[in-house]
Structure 1
Amino acid sequence: MSPNIYCVEALNHPVFKTLSHVAQNLDLECYVIGGYVRDHLLNRAGSKDIDIVAVGDGIALAQALADALPGASEVSVFKNYGTAMLHYQDITLEFVGARKESYTHNSRNPKVAPGSLADDQNRRDFTINALALSLDQNQWGALLDPFTGVDHLAAKLLITPLDPQVTFSDDPLRMMRAIRFAAQLDFTIDPQAWLSIKNQAERIKIIAPERIVDELNKIMSTPKPSAGLSLMYEAGLLDIILPEVTALLGVEEIEGQRHKDNFWHTLEVVDNISRTTEKLWLRLKALFHGIGKAPTKRFDY
């Protein structure tokens, strides 16, 4: 726990009090964790997605909360992931039981076992996403910050809770998440983490394509997509995921005639369109508008 740090104002929504009482009746510890806490501390208003971790059965907690909230949606249970989700008013709550995970080298399917809050915080991608708020009525709003994530927020640093080689090897999609958060929040990736991303870029190939597309779309939805795309290029990820785009790289000159570097031009086009629209399909169209130029490039004499 971070000494004397409480974020009671983050728990103003009435759903938190109801959740606390339900958890107490089930004799469960529960905490708000992850992005909602991070965004509150960054004064990024309007977060409507709330992650809840229970030390025990998170799915049972979700079902009990839905029963206690008039107008709550039915609980969606994702047994393969051990998670549950419900919608209430304008928010979405996702529940998981605290757990510890272990991975084999060539698999993204971990061996999962019940764990403590500390175990669950260890498996998080970045220290700023391991921040948790207690919903215990005796420690209401207490901030649990085992990796000094608050300091990293202030320094605008992305640091992994564990050795970055372990964090990124366990789930290589976290490499793209690091880049997305760096672009989205204007943060710097810790040098050790950055080196690990560059060293492990090839491991992105074990990730399901739909997960990669989802993360790429989030990068493309940031205010300045070129920031994330440039980092993907520097890390070696873009050449693996979108080789058609990196094929545009380079300026050729033959007998004094030059072609512009279509890669960097493409990133400028993406940023230009992003200033005028948040529509993802238009931003993607800008990204792919020139991919035919590399194989058809020629010089006329």
Structure 2
Amino acid sequence: MIFQIRDNERKIFEVISKAAAELGFPTYVVGGYVRDRLLARPSKDLDIVCVGSGIELAKRVGNSLHPRSRVTVYKRFGTAALKHRDLEIEFVGARKESYRSDSRKPTVESGSLADDQNRRDFTINALAISLNEQDYGTIIDPFNGLEDLEAKRLITPLDPAKTFTDDPLRMMRGVRFASQLGFQLDPGTKTAMREHCDRLKIISWERIATEMHKIMLSPRPSVGLKLMDDTGLLDYVLPELAALRGVESRNGRKHKDNFLHTIQVVDQLAERSPEIWLRWAALLHDIGKAKTKRWEASAGWTFHAHDAVGANMVPRIFRRLRLPNDKLKYVQKLVSLHQRPISLTQEEISDSAIRRILFEAGEDIDDLMTLCASDITSKNPHKVKRYQENYVLLRNRMTEIEEKDQLKNWQPPITGEMIMETFNIPPSRQVGLIKDAVREAILDGEIPNELEAAREKMMAVAKELGV
């Protein structure tokens, strides 16, 4: 395993080493940077641990780099950070920690490098490289982290029960590393996660959501999602998704495992798009199926209106995970509409139906179609091929209708304000009825998408309503 280092990193290490020697602080590079460089992965975050004051070392390094270097000091945590070109460098004094049972915020004391390595989450993150003159460049590996890197194994440095009880967020981090790196959790570590998953309740939803985002952005999010299910973490973080697991059979007819289907859809979408909120839409697209599952003697298992039910569940999930409100409507819209293109591929497609989906999806139509194409998980290759070909035909029809009817980000030409001004009436149910009638007439192809035709329709509807 070769440690790959760039020239600018080598230079900054020399500056840090010199500053540390002047202060008499034994100093080391630790954690994620060491791991990633050994795995030949890019890393722009440097964690520097010194046996002394991390703040004092950061200031000395900053002055050495540039007299006006900006060093951000976090006195409460005893840390400091500075940015040098594309590197984010954080300095901290070596420490040991002790925890109360009701908090992940530790009592911190000054300590040795060994103390600092003991408090790390996994052996692959406990690796350190000396920046000290007597053993400069030596890898310090007290927990056989190099072997675990080679074996692609995630195991805690100390007893996993203590590691996860002290800081339960480490369980989510373990899931995330497995998903990002393609590593396997050590059986004992995985068992401890299962036994202590309820400790996650002391972690803030914001921290949990941050780890969820990183899992969702990994090459195969299903790895992390499946691990969350296996360890019980999913029941706490996303019980709505956990409720989809399993298969029920009646009279020899069974439905698919909607949890496994969902995580396959997320993986297939991840191959098509890096967009995080589109991946979230894939994760939540079938969230309503547990609530809508019914057995019907004539039809078998049904999930009628699971799209609408799922869309109504999205806001509660966003509130719980503290996800941003400005992304809520986007995800909710895609969950609500994800069945529509599928149904259009299974019937004669009318221009009216295409106008409606173009109007309702608006600028998100391409994302909706990407989600729907990813929603094909049949094990029958002929069926998959047929569905994909139908989607191509549907996309072509959408392009034709969009260009012909000028429906790109379309809004009806008649607004509520125009109706109120024309008929001198206040906001009312009648205004909505007139506006809806004009819009429906255009979508149905009854009148062209033109202002004059829309005004004539507005006048005719108003007359019918007695306005």
Confirm or deny a common fold (TM above 0.5). Answer: yes
Q: Which runs of structure 2 are paired with 1:217-256 in the superposition (5 Å)?
A: 217-254=213-250
Q: Is the 8 A contact 2:4 2:38 kept in 1?
A: no
State the AA in 1 paired with 2:21: Q
Q: Is the 8 A contact 1:220 1:284 kept in 2?
A: yes
Q: Do residues 132 (structure 1) and 128 (structure 2) align?
A: yes
Runs of 4+ in 1 over 6 A off after TM superposition: none
Partner of 2:275: 279
State the AA in 1 paired with 2:204: A
Q: Do residues 30 (structure 1) and 13 (structure 2) align?
A: no
Q: SS in structure 2 opposite 1:266?
A: helix
Distance 1:289 1:152, change over 3 A: same
State the AA in 1 paired with 2:10: H
Q: Do residues 165 (structure 1) and 161 (structure 2) align?
A: yes
State the AA in 1 paired with 2:180: Q
User: Aligned-pair RMSD on alpha carbons?
Assistant: 2.1
Q: TM-score, normalised by structure 1?
A: 0.92
Partner of 1:215: 211
How far apart in 2 are the matches of 1:241 and 1:144? 36
Q: Is the 8 A contact 1:32 1:135 kept in 2?
A: yes
How far apart in 2 are the matches of 1:10 and 1:148? 25
Distance 1:67 1:74, change over 3 A: same
State the AA in 2 paired with 1:143: I
Partner of 1:110: 106
Partner of 1:50: 46
Task: State the 1:255 CA deviation.
Answer: 5.2
Task: State the 1:256 CA deviation.
Answer: 5.8
Give the fraction of aligned pairs with identical amino acids, expressed as a percent. 53
How far apart in 1 are the matches of 2:170 and 2:292? 35
Q: SS in structure 1 opposite 2:214?
A: helix
State the AA in 1 paired with 2:28: Y
Q: Which runs of structure 2 are paired with 1:264-275 in the superposition (5 Å)?
A: 264-275=260-271
Task: State the 1:138 CA deviation.
Answer: 2.6
Task: State the 1:250 CA deviation.
Answer: 2.8
Q: Is the 8 A contact 2:26 2:50 kept in 1?
A: yes
Q: TM-score, normalised by structure 2?
A: 0.60
Q: SS in structure 1 opposite 2:121?
A: coil
Q: Is the 8 A contact 2:234 2:242 kept in 1?
A: yes
Q: Do residues 293 (structure 1) and 289 (structure 2) align?
A: yes
Partner of 2:10: 13
Q: Is the 8 A contact 1:257 1:299 kept in 2?
A: no
Distance 1:89 1:272, change over 3 A: same
Partner of 2:179: 183
Q: SS in structure 1 opposite 2:129?
A: strand
Distance 1:285 1:127, change over 3 A: same
Q: Is the 8 A contact 1:72 1:88 kept in 2?
A: no
Partner of 2:346: none
Structure that is richer in helix per residue: 2
Q: SS in structure 1 opposite 2:18?
A: helix
Q: Do residues 120 (structure 1) and 121 (structure 2) align?
A: no
Q: Is the 8 A contact 1:32 1:50 kept in 2?
A: yes
CA shift digits 1:118-171 (9 cap, x unpaired): 100000011111110111123211111111111111122111111111111110
State the AA in 2 paired with 1:298: R
Q: Do residues 90 (structure 1) and 86 (structure 2) align?
A: yes
How far apart in 1 are the matches of 2:229 and 2:30? 31
CA shift digits 1:17-59 (9 cap, x unpaired): 1111111122211110011111122222x21111110111111
Q: Do residues 59 (structure 1) and 55 (structure 2) align?
A: yes
Q: SS in structure 1 opposite 2:274?
A: coil
How far apart in 2 are the matches of 1:114 and 1:186? 35
Distance 1:96 1:233, change over 3 A: same
Q: SS in structure 2 opposite 1:275?
A: helix
Structure that is richer in strand per residue: 1
State the AA in 1 paired with 2:114: A
How far apart in 1 are the matches of 2:215 and 2:67? 34
How far apart in 2 are the matches of 1:216 and 1:56? 35
How far apart in 1 are the matches of 2:67 and 2:185? 42
Moved more, 16-25 or 254-263: 254-263
State the AA in 1 paired with 2:52: G
Task: State the 1:195 CA deviation.
Answer: 1.0
Consecutive unaligned residues in structure 1, runs of 5 or more? none
Consecutive unaligned residues in structure 2, runs of 5 or more? 299-467
How far apart in 2 are the matches of 1:125 and 1:260? 37
Task: State the 1:254 CA deviation.
Answer: 4.8
CA shift digits 1:174-220 (9 cap, x unpaired): 11111211222222211111111111010011111111111111111
Distance 1:285 1:73, change over 3 A: farther
Q: Is the 8 A contact 1:53 1:95 kept in 2?
A: yes
How far apart in 2 are the matches of 1:56 and 1:90? 26
Moved more, 235-244 or 135-144: 135-144
CA shift digits 1:258-290 (9 cap, x unpaired): 443221111111001100111211111110112
Instruction: Kindly tell me the number of residue pairs found equivalent between the two proteins.
Output: 296
Task: State the 1:9 CA deviation.
Answer: 4.8
